Amino acid sequence: MANKYTELVTDILNHVGGKENIISVKHCVTRLRFQLRDEAKADTDYLTQRDGVVTVVKAGGQYQVVIGNHVPDVYAEFLAVSGLAGAGSLDIDEGDGPKGNLFDRFVDLISGIFQPSLGALAAAGIIKGVVAIMANLFKLNADNSALYVILNAAGDGFFQFLPIVLAYNAANKFKMNPFTAMAVAMALVYPSLPATVAKLSETGLNHVFGIPFELPSSGSYLSSVMPVLLAVWVASHIEKVMKKITPDVVKVFVVPFVTIILAVPVTFLAVGPLANIASDMLSNTFTSVMNFSPLLYGILLGALWQVLVMFGLHWAIVPLAILQYSQNGWSTILLPALLPNFTQTGVLAAIMLKTKEEKVKSIAMPAFISSIFGVTEPAIYGVTLPMKTPFYISCTVAAAIGAGLSFFPDLKNYAMGAMGIFAFPGYVSPEAGMTPMWIVIGFAALAIIASFAIQMMVPVPTLYAKASEVAVTEVPVTAVPELQEIKQEILASPVTGKVVTLADVADEVFASGAMGNGIAVEPSEGLVCAPTNAEVTLVFPTGHAIGLTTENGAELLIHIGMDTVSLDGKGFETFVKVGDKVTAGQKLVQFDIATVQAAGLPITTPIIVTNTADFTDILFTQESQVKTGDYLLTAVK
């Protein structure tokens, strides 16, 4: 017999490619999670716009259709309509792992790992620009200014030790202990390692059981990206095995001990040689192309430079430039790589003008500033790469600019190391004077204008919300309704801890407001209490999520941590059931913060008004810390 969700689930079934395209379907507290045979057969645009579907998320190794608090009922009806195995059972999973073609998987992985640190990354990039201004305009350096030394450390330190930051973020992505992951990363950037390996190489002792012990062509793993991600991925698998076979009484130190002692040598002895082989092959390829055709070399290096930087493979070409510089006092090898940062500048400017997403604007602005100074990581990882199309535009324009520069063989760099606008003076020639620098500046302006113009002509993809949520719609003028009594729902904080804005929650569905407006708290105590008098409408079996409907009609979702469903109830204890009437301050859930953190999961707890559309406005506390029972938010109706 059909129910109110039959039409919805039938539509979802048809638009995910039909029953034959579904390997499995699961659900968590808000989402239907599909594993599809071919994701391309799913009509994402249709599902995103359909009534009854909040949004669609491609992540977690799954095609996720976000439904809302009533997802268990939708899930049950979906099983009944589709006839898929598992009807009547509850199969839950919230693991995160990228899925799709190789490039999409790489984008999902990199974006997810860089997202938590984008603010600091952009800030460090801007500081590097300030340091460059001090050096170029005021002639300050490490020999004559203590302030220069301090700010240089502040800006460059983040990039130097980026592997440690990425290890922490990757640990959350790969579901392992973040401090174990950081220990692996710290070994990779150990300060005396380059000098020690160099000495071992001189004596021929740089091997372990016959396997060469070598560092990448850059001389160290500082500022690298891919090696540490591979290292943490390997470490996460070792840790999972060790957790299963290690007795609980010694697990706290045996698991990280074995993980570190195995992962670090594997990284040095496997990742290092592979990186060197890839670097040598790339270096030989670009050298051959440059000798064959400078025009083709300009196109190729211009187009691929940003991709090479992402993988850390640009170090295959940098040593060639350094060698040329040491022999001649100038270099031309990196000329096509000079201006891709300005193509990022152009697309970012267009994105800031066109996007309706405030979160994108807040990320794009500091990324725009740092790109002018030649630091493009915030732009690539935070905006253009996740959006894909702007990244393609940037690379395409950079290829054209690289081709154009190849027609000026006399352009030579006499001062390597500067980036962005501060690289321009390095092209002042002893013979030709300022002319080469003006040519370079002209091409930089062309790079900005061309990339800006192209991006302005194509749609800007959305990152954090459905297209329908950010589009500007003309609303017809209607008669002013009669004044009604203003009702409001004042809610106390259900937990004690640090207040976090919803946009800073490490889950795009919550952060975008797709589930409704709200706020989050980083708990310092493992207790959830009722924020007001209400009826319990949802108690998830694992205890990590509670749904309430208040006396004034506000529908609330309290979601303890991110991906905590994967703990399968470990560390959670519930004290209420669906249908219970609770009073303000009544104990709802008790949870163990240490258990959640030991699993490498965020403990941030969103408190969402899921029927936000029923309210005129949601107002929030301005306090940075709250205790259970303190004022948290007001929903005005």
The catalytic residues are 28
CA distance 237 to 109: 17
Residues 519, 502: contact at Cβ < 8 Å?
Answer: yes
Q: Is 252 helix (H, G, I), strand (E, B) or coil?
A: helix
User: How is residue 222 written in tokens?
Assistant: 């500082």
> Which residues are CB-contacts of 489 (< 8 A; sequence separation ≥ 6)?
532, 550, 552, 553, 554, 615, 634, 635, 637
CA distance 102 to 98: 9
The b/e string for 371-394 (b: 16+ C-beta within 10 A; e otherwise) is: bbbbbbbbbbbbbbbbbeebbebb
Q: Where are the alpha helices (DSSP H) in 373-524?
A: 377-379, 385-387, 389-405, 435-457, 467-470, 508-511
Compute CA distances 526 → 589, 593, 604, whole Å.
8, 6, 12
CA distance 420 to 239: 42
DSSP result, 53-83: --EEEEETTEEEEE--TTHHHHHHHHHHHH-
Beta bridge partners of 212: 207
User: How is residue 1 written in tokens?
Assistant: 């017999």
What is the three-state SS of 503-545?
Answer: HHCCCHHHHCCCCCEEEEEEECCCEEECCCCEEEEEECCCCCE
User: How is residue 48 written in tokens?
Assistant: 């995103």
| H helix or E strand, kind and range, residue 125 | helix 118-137
Compute CA distances 566 → 197, 427, 542, 570, 589, whole Å.
42, 56, 9, 9, 17
User: How is residue 102 written in tokens?
Assistant: 């190789």
Count CB atoms within 10 A of the CB of residue 93.
17
**Cα-based torsion angle of the residue sequence 401, 407, 410, 412 in order, rounded to the nearest 10 degrees:** 20
Residue 616 main-chain phi, psi, to 5 deg: -70, -40
DSSP result, 7-31: HHHHHHHHHTT-GGGEEEEEE-SSE
CA distance 382 to 384: 7
Residues 122, 381: contact at Cβ < 8 Å?
Answer: no
CA distance 155 to 39: 41
